[in-house]
Amino acid sequence: MDNVLIRLREATSAGVMDCKKALDDAGGDFDKAKQLILERGVAKAEKRAERKTGAGLLETYVHNGRIGVILELRCETDFVAKTDVFKTLAHDLAMHVASMNPETSEELVKQPFVKDESITVGDLITQAIAKTGENIKVERFCRYEL
Q: What is the domain count for the chain?
A: 2
Contacts of 144 (CB under 8 A, 6+ apart): 67, 68, 69
Does 23 share its domain with 59?
no
- pLDDT in the model for residue 3: 82
Range of the domain at 34: 3-48
What is the pTM assigned to this prediction?
0.71
Question: What would the pLDDT profile of 106-120 be if each residue is shown by its tens digit?
Answer: 999 999 999 999 999
Q: How far apart are CA 132 and CA 75, in angstroms?
A: 9
Residues 92 and 128 in one domain: yes
pLDDT of residue 111: 97
Query: What distance in Å separates the CA atoms of residue 146 and residue 142, rounded to the nearest whole number?
Result: 14
**Which residues of the chain register pLDDT less than 50?**
1
Same-domain status, 136 and 83: yes
